[in-house]
């Protein structure tokens, strides 16, 4: 993937505060499926995500502004579903939290996940579920919807 400022994005607005939305984003285990090891709660923190046999990635927190923004750089990846398994390596995963009338808006972008990369279809569908479904549910109900593991 490239590190251009374009990529797959989605957003939604909830009644919860920006701080509540931000706390849910950092609770990766509660909304993203698979095995998550490490933490995502401070700059420099690293965590791995595994969903054997199809997905492995390591993320490093490169930017964190409490209640507002967190950026993960993918430092290593292996996607078994594509011909170039390291497609995610070097990409960025960005969560921006913006105050909105009566709550907050979450803006998600996977910078580099563009239509011309092989995993775009499957990966964007995955993000639609995990961000738009599971993370949103965690924020609004206190319970995420990761796949049973």
Domains defined for the chain, CATH in brackets = 7-141 (3.30.530.20)
Confidence of residue 79 (pLDDT cuts 50, 70, 90): very high
- The arithmetic mean of pLDDT across residues 14-42, rounded, is 95
pLDDT at 14: 99
Sign of the CA dihedral with 7 first, then 22, 90, and 121 last = negative
- The arithmetic mean of pLDDT across residues 40-66, rounded, is 96
pLDDT for residue 140 is more than 60: yes
Longest Cα pair distance anywhere in the chain, in angstroms? 45
**CB burial class (10 A; 0-12, 13-18, 19+) of residue 90?**
middle
More confident residue, 33 or 64: 64
Quick one: what percent of the chain has pLDDT higher than 70?
Answer: 95
pLDDT for residue 4 is more than 60: no
pLDDT for residue 6 is more than 60: yes
Cα angle 89-18-101, degrees, rounded to a multiple of 5: 125
Query: What's the alpha-carbon Rg for the chain, to the nearest Å?
Result: 14
Phi, psi of 22 (to 5 degrees): -60, -45
pLDDT at 1: 36
- Of the candidates 142, 125, 136, 56, the one whose C-alpha atom is nearest the C-alpha of residue 95 is 136
- pLDDT tens per residue across span 89-119: 999 999 999 999 999 999 999 999 999 999 9
């Amino acid at each position: 993937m490239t590190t251009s400022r374009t990529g797959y994005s989605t957003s939604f607005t909830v009644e919860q505060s920006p701080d509540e939305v931000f706390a849910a984003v950092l609770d990766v285990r509660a909304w993203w499926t698979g095995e998550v090891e490490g933490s995502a709660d401070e700059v420099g923190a690293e965590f791995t995500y595994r969903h054997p046999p199809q997905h492995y990635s390591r993320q490093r927190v490169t930017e964190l502004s409490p209640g507002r923004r967190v950026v993960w750089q993918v430092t290593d990846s292996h996607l078994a579903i594509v011909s170039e398994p390291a497609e995610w390596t070097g990409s960025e995963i960005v969560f921006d939290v913006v105050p909105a009338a009566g709550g907050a808006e979450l803006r998600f972008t996977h910078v580099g996940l563009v239509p011309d990369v092989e995993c775009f279809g499957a990966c964007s569908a995955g993000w639609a579920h995990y961000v738009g479904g599971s993370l949103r549910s965690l924020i609004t109900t206190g319970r995420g919807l990761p796949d049973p593991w």
